[in-house]
Structure 1
Amino acid sequence: MISSNVSSLMSNQTYMNNNASNVANVNTDGYIPRNTTISETTNGGTKANTSMATSNGSEKSQTDLTKEVTDQISIEKVSEANVQAIRTQNEMLGSLLDIKA
């Protein structure tokens, strides 16, 4: 169970890295942002899929800050949930080991 939470954290880290790059290049002329999607793997984990956005031909940066900021909020909430799940699993395992000892 912990492995799926760790997998999700790693996927969301990739998502946040791409998001941060898009925000950092908001004033870079001709910048085409990266899109990130999270998908489930066959073993119950997740993976981040990164692709370049479709260019609209603009000479200005094509980064949409409203999308990027709302994505950051979503990434933060998912990461918090995964960390809490790992903490809970760790506490439960520790309690079981204490009982067994």
Structure 2
Amino acid sequence: MAIAVLSSGITGLNAAERALGNSAHAIANIGTQGFQPSQAYFTESQPAGSGVSVSFQAQQLQQVDGPSQTDLAKETTNSLVYEKQFDFSAKVIQTADQMLGSLIDIKA
């Protein structure tokens, strides 16, 4: 059980890290003419309860001569959410590690 929880926490860390990187990329390109950021989508891995995965969907590719399409308020909010998601996944891993350590100590 604790191993499955560790795996689930690790997938959460990876998904949050990738989504945070995506938001950072969008913010870094806010001054780039015609830049169109992609949106992160989280899905539950199969079988259910085994973790989370993230995919990215780019906006329709079209030639834009104007300023970047990045919404700074949205990307800043997303960054804060992804940071908390990373922290919560780290707590899951920490708790699973403690449970696994307690289980091993009981059997010793």
Length-normalised TM-score, structure 2: 0.85
Q: Name the structure, 1 or 2, with higher relative contact order (CA <8 Å, separation 6+).
A: 2
Is 2:95 the partner of 1:91? no
Q: How far does the alpha carbon of each residue in 1:53-86 deviate from its partner, in whole angstroms, 9 at most, with x for none? A: 2468451100000000000111111111110111
Match of 1:52 in 2: 58
| Residue 64 (structure 1) aligned to one of 63, 71, 74 | 71
Q: Check the 8 A contact 1:11/1:46 in 2, yes or no.
A: yes
1:9 aligns with 2:26: no
Aligned to 1:94, what secondary structure does the other structure show?
Answer: helix
Root-mean-square deviation (CA, aligned residues, Å) is 1.6
8 Å Cα contact 1:55/1:62 also seen in 2 = no
Identity value in percent? 33
Most deviating of 55-64 and 32-41 = 55-64
Amino acid in structure 2 at the alignment position of 1:71: N
Structure 1 runs (4+) deviating above 6 angstroms are none
How many residues were matched structurally? 101
Whole-Å separation in 1 of the counterparts to 2:52 and 2:95: 20
Normalization by structure 1: what TM-score? 0.91
SS class of match (1:36): strand
Q: Which residue of 1 aligns with 2:26?
A: 22
1:81 matched to 2:85: no
CA–CA distance in structure 1, aligned partners of residues 77 and 37 of structure 2? 15
